């Protein structure tokens, strides 16, 4: 137990402030909407399969670098895109609503260029890349060849 109660209270106060700042870091004043309007008749950059979504957008933009947001090291939002299976599992664990791209968190964040919650931060994905994501989700967000459609994807365990 502390000899100086005042000193312990001061340290506890600083710890509480540090935790609050760390918790709020990266949070915006305007949270993303639950749903947005999307155009599913857009022209995709590539065929909207998860194999292509992963290799042509997610891996290189969001998760392949050791310092990337969704790398095995970054783990922003608790997601790792370090390989196709991790990416698929993370997205199907509540970040995409199969068949409903407008109400999928991934689409709300990637298809909102300039919004404070835009993903990826900085330069937005191109419209054709965003379109491929939208069309993949609209098609039911099926697994790719390297992904298993386990319980998170609605398949049998």
pLDDT at 115: 85
The CA distance from 128 to 96, in Å, is 19
Mean pLDDT of the chain: 73
**For the whole prediction, is pTM greater than 0.75?**
no
More confident residue, 72 or 108: 108
Position 117 confidence tier, pLDDT thresholds 50, 70, 90? confident
CA 72 to the chain's CA centroid: 13
pLDDT over threshold 80, residue 130: yes
The DSSP element (H or E) to which 133 belongs, if any, is: helix 127-138
């Amino acid at each position: 137990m502390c000899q100086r109660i005042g000193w312990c209270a001061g340290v506890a106060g600083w710890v509480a402030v540090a935790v609050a700042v760390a918790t709020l870091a990266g949070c915006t004043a305007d949270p993303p909407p639950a749903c947005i309007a999307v155009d599913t008749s857009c022209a995709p950059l590539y065929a909207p399969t998860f194999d292509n979504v992963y290799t042509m957008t997610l891996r290189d933009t969001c998760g392949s670098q050791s310092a990337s947001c969704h790398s095995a090291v970054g783990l922003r939002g608790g997601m790792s895109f370090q390989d196709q299976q991790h990416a698929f599992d993370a997205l199907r664990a509540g970040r995409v609503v199969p068949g409903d791209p407008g109400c999928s968190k991934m689409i709300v964040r990637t298809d909102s260029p300039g919004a404070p919650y835009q993903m990826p931060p900085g330069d937005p994905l191109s419209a054709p890349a965003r379109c491929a994501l939208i069309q993949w989700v609209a098609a039911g967000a099926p697994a790719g060849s390297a992904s298993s459609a386990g319980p998170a994807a609605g398949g049998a365990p």
